[in-house]
Amino acid sequence: MAYGGRGGYGGGGGGMNMQAMMKQARALQEQMAKAQEELENSELTGTSGGGLVSVTITGKKHMTGVSIKPEAVDADDLEMLEDLIVAAFNDAVSQAEALEKQVMPMGAI
């Protein structure tokens, strides 16, 4: 009995579509690798208190430095200094997130 249905193991033009998809996937992988490298090599500095405190991070959000000007240090008000450090770090993270959106391929985030 002959099978005349449309299912089964046909060999339509699907091979070309798969090749195109694989090529597209490789291109996206290359773009992602370049974007990841750019993020890792980028340094962003967040500040607070009018520049009294600054925090430097990579685009991957790893902290690489903290700078505190002497006038930001008040032994009687360490809570203010702590708040300035947090604010500077959050500023740097916001910059890193903006950079990530800029360099990552569409839809990859």
Q: Determine the pLDDT at residue 6.
A: 54
The candidate with the shortest Cα–Cα distance to 24, out of 107, 109, 97, is: 107
Domain residues of the chain, as ranges?
43-109
Which amino acid is it at 53?
V
pTM value?
Answer: 0.69
What's the fold here for domain 43-109? Ybab; Chain: A; (3.30.1310)
pLDDT digits (tens, 9 = 90+) for 45-92: 999 999 999 999 998 899 999 999 999 999 999 999 999 999 999 999
Which amino acid is it at 78?
L
pLDDT digits (tens, 9 = 90+) for 10-51: 555 555 798 888 888 898 888 888 888 888 889 999 999 999
> Which 3-state string (H, E, C) describes the chain?
CCCCCCCCCCCCCHHHHHHHHHHHHHHHHHHHHHHHHHHHHCEEEEEEHHHCEEEEEECCCCEEEEEECHHHCCCCCHHHHHHHHHHHHHHHHHHHHHHHHHHCCCCCC
